[in-house]
Amino acid sequence: MNTKLVILLGKAPSPIAGVLFWSAILVLCALIIAVVFYAFWRRMRREEEPTVTTGFTLPDLRDLHKAGQLTDEEFQNAKAMLLARSRAEMAAEEAAAAADSADPASR
């Protein structure tokens, strides 16, 4: 018997106490691993979220064009760039959604 435990407890520990102690240690370790995994998962998800851009919207461009601050050519170029960026973002979202639905590990 372990003399330190006998001195601390005043009696010899039972085998069940040892099993309960190591079971509690195992559960605590599993809980710590789960918390670390969850924090890592949340951080990865946060990095994947799109950031908000503060660029012009199509109504903003129309207002600038109507106010005479943009020429017809500038308006058409800005509109084409805005639509191209919007289409690229939509294509990226669709590709990500298709990859998520095709990946059996993500279910």
Q: What is the pLDDT of residue 74?
A: 92
Q: Does residue 107 register a pLDDT over 60? A: no
What is the average pLDDT value for the chain, to the nearest integer? 81
pLDDT above 70 (res 88): yes
Helix axes 72-102, 58-66, angle to 10 degrees: 180
Is pTM, for the whole model, over 0.85?
Answer: no
With b for 16 or more beta-carbon neighbours within 10 A and e for fewer, the 83-105 pattern comes to eeeeeeeeeeeeeeeeeeeeeee
pLDDT top residue among 6 and 86: 86
Q: Residues 2-27: pLDDT tens digits?
A: 566 566 666 666 778 778 888 999 99
